[in-house]
Amino acid sequence: MRKYLMAGNWKMNKTIPEAIALSQQLCNYYNREWDKVDVVLCVPAIDIKSVHTVLDFDKTDIELGAQNVHQEPSGAYTGEISIPMIKDAGCTYCIVGHSERREYFGETDEDVNLKVKELVLNKVNAIVCVGESLNVRDSERHIEFVTAQVRAALAGLDVEDLDKVVVAYEPIWAIGTGRTATPEQAEEVCAAIRATIAGSFTQEAADSVRVLYGGSMNQGNVDSLLAMQDIDGGLVGGASLDANSFKQLIEAAAKAS
Ligand code: PEP
């Protein structure tokens, strides 16, 4: 039985005081029902320490994640942060290969693969993002495209490493656009991702790996998306920036559990 995971991606939002306020509000909302769901806040690097202090003080099970990391443990990489740094600051998760990083910062499948390998080696959960552009979707090559991204991201991993991997299917045309994939469109790709993992590793591993949907998830569509067999939660951008709206999504996942 896979446990739902609801991960908030704050992107480049929230100053330190705002991050403290938002995480504190979520801690105030937290109740035992939320234990049915894994909840993670993927916050800007500068907010990690402060949010960790809030989460630690309130003793909830809400976990903390980074949004990107460099694969080298240290060195002359101005502006980057390393896995030992995020781990030391309290992160148990890290997003890798978000489409915005691929598009605006030139991250390649090879970069994503290096980061995933180092994260699992360091026992940090990798939320590996994959997803097609509208062009690819319109030309009906989305399954081929996304499954190739999955194979590239997970290349060279051992089957045991997969318990530190979450895959997030995020069609680029649905991110921040208010245009959500239909549950059937999302399910088709999430099922193909699981089948790809079964083909590259084992069916047992594929049955345990969590596959999330991301792309304008909100209160209006969360129930129908989570009702799909191969969707095990959400990577949530916009709707995670407000405590009340993210709470509604977490509670929808708890109810669906
Ligand atoms: C995201 O950034 O991963 C995302 C899914 O954003 P949004 O929910 O705003 O579409």
Contact 181, 192 (CB under 8 A): no
pLDDT band at 1 (very low <50, low <70, confident <90, very high): confident
Which residue out of 6, 11, 169 has the highest number of ligand 1 atoms within 8 Å of its CB and is therefore the one to mutate?
Answer: 11
Residues 74 and 46: beta-carbon distance below 8 Å: no
Full set of structural domains in the chain with CATH: 5-256 (3.20.20.70)
Helices 183-200 and 142-154 sit at what angle, rounded to 10 degrees? 40
Angle at the Cα of 186 from the Cα atoms of 180 and 192, rounded to 5 degrees:
155
Which pLDDT tens digit goes with each residue over 200-249? 999 999 999 999 999 999 999 999 999 999 999 999 999 999 999 999 99
Q: What is the mean pLDDT of the chain?
A: 97
What's the CA-to-centroid distance between 83 and ligand 1, angstroms? 23
Q: Are 54 and 33 in contact (CB under 8 A)?
A: no
Whether 239 and 217 have beta carbons less than 8 Å apart is answered as yes
Task: Write the DSSP assignment of 18-44 as a string of letters.
Answer: HHHHHHHHHHHH--GGGGGSEEEEE--
SS (H, E, C) 133-195: CHHHHHCCCHHHHHHHHHHHHHCCCCHHHHHHEEEEECCHHHCCCCCCCCHHHHHHHHHHHHH
The whole-angstrom separation of Cα 218 and Cα 205 is: 29
Residue 226's pLDDT is: 98
pLDDT, position 119: 98
List, for residues 65-85, the tens digit of each pLDDT value: 999 999 999 999 999 999 999
Amino acid at 120: V
| CA 49 vs CA 20, 52, 56, 84, 133: distances in Å | 10, 5, 10, 14, 34
Pocket test of ligand 1: the residue of 172, 216, 221, 248 to mutate, having most ligand atoms within 8 Å of its CB, is 216
Measured CA to CA, the distance from residue 137 to residue 172 in angstroms comes to 10
pLDDT digits (tens, 9 = 90+) for 133-182: 999 999 999 999 999 999 999 999 999 999 999 999 999 999 988 788 99
Is the pTM here over 0.85, yes or no?
yes
